[in-house]
Every structure is written in C-alpha cells, then in structure tokens.
Amino acid sequence: MNIVIAGGGVAGVTAAEKAREANPQAHITVFCLEKDALYYRPRLPEIVNGSLPVEKIFAHPDAWYQERRIELRKGETLIEVCADNNQVRGSLGSRLVYDTLLIATGAESSRPAPVNYELPGVFTVRHLYDAMTLHYEAKRNKSAVIMGAGLLALEIAGALGSLGLTVHVLERADRILPRQTTPGSAAILKDYLAKQGLVIHLNASLSGMYGSDRLKRVEISDGSAIETQILVVAAGVTPNLGLAKHMGLKVERGVVVDDFLETSKPGVYAAGDCAQTRDGAGGLWTIGRAEGLIAGHNLAVPPGERKAYQATPPSSTLKVAGLDLVAAGNLDPDGKLDSAVHEAEGLYRKVVVDAGGLLVGYTNLGTTKGNRELAAALGKRKITPDELAALKSPDFDFAALKP
C-alpha cells in the first residue's frame, strides 16, 4: 500500500507515525515544503528571544523517520495530484502513485493590506527562518510595532520586549486577545503587559508606513507616528488550500472533511490547519495532532476499520514570561450563559456552563490552580448550581470537580 502525505507539520508527521503503527508494510512518503523536518512551531517565540537553541526546536532526529521507514522529502512541495490515476508529482521531480493521500498543508500568516510585505523590516512569523531572522534584526534595533493582539502577536511582543525593545502593539478591537478573553480578563492582562513595557494601542490600526530601502516609520489610525525599523504583522492565518482546490476537493474556510477526516474525494483525507471538520477549522497544534492521529490510522486501514474523529473544545495558553493564561471552549463574552467569575488583584477566573449545566468553557488568568481539573471536566461534567456558586470563591477545592 502507498500512503502519500502533503505537509511535514504536526498533522502530517503525526499521521505518518500513526499510519506506520497501523500498517507495518505500507510505503509512507511525506512531502515537506520546508527544508526543516518537524519542529515545535509554538516555540518560535523562544527562537525570537534567543532563549531556545535552534537545534532543540526539532521534534525528532532524522533517525526517528528512518526507524519508522517514513520517507521524508524535505524541501519538496507536492505540486500536482491527478486523482483519476492516483498519481502525484513533487517539485523536485518525484512521481508516485498513492492508494490513500493526506492533505496536511497547514496555513500561512495572513497578509492584510495596507502593508508592503516586500519592504525590509516587515515580518510575519510562521516558519523557523522567520523567527531566526527576526531575532537577528531585534538584536540590532530598539523598537518594534506589532500589528495584531492575538496570542501569537502578544507572544512575539513579549519575546521582543524581553530583548529590551520598546514594543507597540496595535489592536483594532477595544480589547486585547479578543478571542480568548472576556472584558474582565482583558483589562487585567493589559495592565500586566503594560507593566512589562509593552505599549498597547486599542481601537488602533496601521494607516501608513514609510521608508524606501528599509522601514523607518509607521503611522497609526489615531494620527500618531512611531519611528521603527521593525513591523511584525500577526493578524491571523490563512489555510493553504491551493493543492486541494487544484484537485477539485470541496473547500470552504478549509478543506471540508467528514467524521473520518475524509474529503469529498474517496481515499483523500485532510487534517490540521488546512482542514475544516464539522466543528470548524483548526488553528492549534493540539487539534493538528489529534486530527493527525485519526487521519493516519484511517489512511492505513481498510474502510471498515476506520475511526471517527471526536472534536475536543479548543484550548489556548498564552506563553508570555511570568504570566499564566488559559482559555478553553466558550467564554461567553456577551454574558448569555450562567457563569462563575472570581476576580482579584492580577487574577481572573471564569467558568461557563450551558443551559443544561454542562461545563462548556473556562478561562484562568494569573494562576494555574484548577487548570488540570477544569480541562478534564470541560464538555464532560455538569456543574451543579451550588458548585457554580462555590466556584466564585478564591478557595474553591478543584479536586471536587473530578468526574
């Protein structure tokens, strides 16, 4: 059996690993556009601030792939698939026939207007070389502007701030981390980041940039200007859908897949940031890995032995030095559901339940207390009205949440 995988990120490599476990005989080939084998993308901010040696970011040594007989074609993009005769073509000339195929092409940083991305000094951070180049530039500069205030933006801002740069963060919305915070936790977080030296501009966007051979100055929508040679655009990601579209697969925000992670073409699967399951598109390492495990199994077994993917609520952690923030599931920012909020100096916890009392979301800022128990209970355990009332107390005993 021939299994071909497009994409050597966490979804693709996890799928290859799982396919090998399920089928010791299969030929497994992974096309990997990047020259680097799988690395921990969420750790790129540590490359930006120089705290992680580059060699430590890789998930596996070359021997790991060899031992599992996974043929990793580093630096070779899968450019063409002919679904009529199951043939694929790689950018370095490989031609292969597949029995099953996985699209795990991930995503790229979004590039919204009006930025000139060709101008030296303008960065996005998605790949290892992006992070290495930004580190090099940061060591030679005193200030930076970050466009966006999502998780990635704040982590990059924190990394540059720790190198001694004055960092300005521009957010269009009226609070930072709009997707992972409630107004209450966002205010605490903003104070914390301001004390770390980050200058946060809310309701602000980039209105102009100046410099001929290198960025020199940016203007923001309130009319002010910032002299800087570094602009990092961290405004979300765009799934890589070119290959899927070229194959004629059903595509919406991502490659549409069913519960087995199979696309609109039989035998062709999709997983990770490029895939769109019934619960929506991915965008997280944890989801890419979970989907890779199921897709890898399904690529390698007869149709009757396939497994269905069970979505877990998305959970994100902000990795900024000295700060703990976890946000998982539905945080109900508009206050439509029942919830328990505990707020104190530098601390914010909100636990959200649905109409039936099921725990559907939580956020915990300034402490890790309760994270493990809340994660285990999320989407699985009902919270009684008495427990919800008790969760407002700083001394709540989280051991009581055991299923």
Ligand X SMILES: Cc1cc2nc3c(=O)[nH]c(=O)nc-3n(C[C@H](O)[C@H](O)[C@H](O)COP(=O)(O)OP(=O)(O)OC[C@H]3O[C@@H](n4cnc5c(N)ncnc54)[C@H](O)[C@@H]3O)c2cc1C
Chain residues that interact with ligand X, rule: CB under 6 A:
6-12, 31-34, 41-42, 44-45, 77-78, 104-107, 125-126, 152, 240, 243, 272-273, 282-286, 288, 316-317, 319
Between 171 and 273, whose beta carbon lies closer to ligand X? 273
Q: Minimal distance in Å, beta carbon 301 to ligand X?
A: 21
Other Cβ atoms less than 10 A from the Cβ of 395: the count is 6
Query: What 3 state SS string does 330-396 have?
Result: CCCCCCCCEEEEEEECCEEEEEEECCCCEEEEEEEECCCCCHHHHHHHCCCCECCHHHHHHCCCCCC
* Shortest reach from residue 256's CB to ligand X, in Å: 16
CA distance linking residue 270 with residue 262, whole number of Å: 6
- Considering beta carbons, is residue 220 or 251 the nearer one to ligand X? 251
| Cα 255 to Cα 107, 161, 241, 285, distances in angstroms | 12, 37, 7, 17
Q: Which residues contact 64 (CB under 8 A, 6 or more apart)?
A: none
User: In whole angstroms, what is the distance from residue 94 CA to residue 77 CA?
Assistant: 10
Apex 156 CA angle, 125 and 174, nearest 5: 105
Q: Which is nearer to ligand X, 26 or 44 (CB)?
A: 44
Pairing of strands 27-32, 122-123: unpaired
Q: How far is the CB of 214 from ligand X (least distance, A)?
A: 24
Q: In the bound complex, what is the minimum distance in angstroms from residue 219's beta carbon to ligand X?
A: 26
CB of 397 to ligand X, least distance (A): 29
Nearer to ligand X, 29 or 339 (CB): 29
- Cα 168 to Cα 229: distance, rounded to the nearest angstrom: 12
- Closest to ligand X by CB, 126 vs 172, is 126
Give the residue with the Cβ less far from ligand X, 8 or 370: 8
Nearest distance in Å: CB 266, ligand X: 21
Q: What is the smallest separation between the CB atom of 127 and ligand X, expressed in angstroms?
A: 7
Cβ proximity to ligand X: between 9 and 148 the closer is 9
Is residue 240 within 8 Å of 246, Cβ to Cβ?
A: no
Strand spans (E) along 173-258: 198-201, 206-210, 217-220, 225-227, 231-233, 237-239, 255-256
For the CA atoms of 282, 286, 292, 298, the dihedral, rounded to the nearest 10 degrees, stands at -90
Largest interatomic CA distance in the chain:
65
Q: Name the minimum Å distance from CB 5 to ligand X.
A: 8
Cα separation, 375 vs 397, whole angstroms = 15
Nearer to ligand X by Cβ, of 317 and 371: the residue is 317
Rounded to whole angstroms, the Cα distance separating 261 from 282 reads: 12
**With respect to ligand X, which residue has the nearer C-beta, 32 or 328?**
32
Judged on CB neighbours under 10 Å (0-12, 13-18, 19+), 265 is middle
Closest distance of CB 223 from ligand X, Å: 31
